[in-house]
Amino acid sequence: MDLNEIVKKQESFLARLIREDIEIRATYAECELPIFADSGQLEAVLMNFVTNARDAMPGGGVIEIRTEQATLGEEFIAAHGGGAAGRYAAVIVSDTGEGIDESIISKIFDPFFSTKEQGKGTGLGLSMVYGIVGQHNGYMDVSSERGKGSTFRV
- pLDDT single digits (tens) 92-126: 999 999 999 999 998 999 888 877 766 666 778 89
Q: Which domains does the chain have, with CATH numbers?
A: 3-153 (3.30.565.10)
DSSP alpha helices (H): ranges in the chain?
3-16, 39-55, 74-79, 125-135
pLDDT in the model for residue 146: 92
State the average pLDDT for the chain: 92
Contacts of 119 (CB under 8 A, 6+ apart): none
Model confidence pLDDT, tens digit, residues 18-43: 999 999 999 999 999 999 999 999 99
SS3 at position 129: helix
